Structure 1
Amino acid sequence: MSPVDYVIIGHVCRDRTPAGPMFGGTAAYAGRTALAHGWRVGVITSTGPDWDPRPALDGAYLMNLPAERTTEFENVYTPEGRRQRVHGVAERLLPAAVPLEWRRPRVVHLGPIAGEVDPSLLEAFEGALRGVTPQGWMRAWDAQGQVYPQPWREAEWILPRADAVVFSEEDIQGDWETARRWARQTRILVVTQAARGATLFLDGLPHPIPAYPVEEVDPTGAGDVFAAAFFIRLWETRDPLAAARYAARVAALSVTRPGLEGTPRPEEIAAIRREMAF
Structure 2
Amino acid sequence: MLPVPDFLTIGHVSKDLRPDGTYTLGGTVTYAALTAQHLGLATGVITCADPNMCIELPSHLPGIALHIRPSSVTTTFINQYTEGVRIQYLCARADTFEARDVPEAWRNTPIVLLGPLAQELPTDFASLFPRRPDALIAASPQGWLRQWDADGRIWPTAWHDAPKVLSSLDVLILSYEDILSSNGNSREEADALFSEWSTMVPILVATEGRYGATLFHEGQTKQFPAYEAEEVDPTGAGDVFAAAFLIHLSKNGDPELAVEYANCVASFSVQQEGTKGIPSLSMINRAFRSQSRKE
How would you bin the TM-score normalised by the shorter chain?
A: over 0.9
Contact 1:115 1:137 in 2 (8 A): yes
Which amino acid in the other structure matches residue 131 of structure 1? A
Aligned to 1:131: 138
Q: Does 1:119 align with 2:123?
A: yes
Which amino acid in the other structure matches residue 217 of structure 1? V
TM-score (norm 2): 0.89
Aligned to 1:154: 161
**CA shift for structure 1 position 54:** 2.1
Aligned to 2:275: 260
Contact 2:124 2:164 in 1 (8 A): no
Which amino acid in the other structure matches residue 139 of structure 1? R
Structure 1 residues 61-70 or 152-161, which shifts more? 152-161
% of aligned pairs identical? 40
Q: Does 1:210 align with 2:225?
A: yes
Cα 1:2–1:106 shift into 2, 3 Å: farther
Alpha-carbon deviations, 1:132-163, whole Å to 9, x = none? 10000000101111110001122011112211
**CA shift for structure 1 position 275:** 4.4
Alpha-carbon deviations, 1:81-101, whole Å to 9, x = none? 110100111111222111122
Query: 3-state SS of the aligned residue for 1:201?
Result: strand
Contact 1:50 1:70 in 2 (8 A): no
Which amino acid in the other structure matches residue 78 of structure 1? T
Q: 1:65 aligns with which of 65, 69, 77?
A: 69
Cα 1:272–1:4 shift into 2, 3 Å: farther
Which structure has the highest helix share of the two?
2
**CA shift for structure 1 position 186:** 1.5
Q: Does 1:42 align with 2:48?
A: no
**CA shift for structure 1 position 264:** 2.1
Structure 1 residues 71-80 or 60-69, which shifts more? 71-80
Which amino acid in the other structure matches residue 206 of structure 1? T
Aligned to 1:163: 170
- Unaligned 5+ segments in structure 1 are none
Query: 3-state SS of the aligned residue for 2:121?
Result: coil
Q: Does 1:106 align with 2:121?
A: no
Query: 3-state SS of the aligned residue for 2:167?
Result: helix
Contact 2:35 2:243 in 1 (8 A): yes
**Structure 1 ranges of 4+ moved more than 3 A:** 269-277
**CA shift for structure 1 position 172:** 0.3
Q: Does 1:188 align with 2:203?
A: yes
Q: 1:86 aligns with which of 84, 90, 94?
A: 90
**CA shift for structure 1 position 49:** 1.9
**Aligned counterparts of 2:59 and 2:148: Cα–Cα separation in 1:** 29
Query: 3-state SS of the aligned residue for 2:248?
Result: helix
Aligned to 1:140: 147
Structure 1 residues 259-268 or 5-14, which shifts more? 259-268
Alpha-carbon deviations, 1:102-126, whole Å to 9, x = none? 1211101100011111232212223
Contact 1:254 1:262 in 2 (8 A): yes
**Aligned counterparts of 2:120 and 2:279: Cα–Cα separation in 1:** 26
**Aligned counterparts of 1:38 and 1:117: Cα–Cα separation in 2:** 27
Count matched residues: 277
Which amino acid in the other structure matches residue 160 of structure 2? R
**CA shift for structure 1 position 272:** 4.4
Query: How well do the aligned residues superpose, as a CA RMSD in angstroms?
Result: 1.7
Aligned to 1:250: 265
Alpha-carbon deviations, 1:31-79, whole Å to 9, x = none? 0000011111110000012323223211100011000111000000013
Contact 2:264 2:284 in 1 (8 A): no
- Unaligned 5+ segments in structure 2 are none
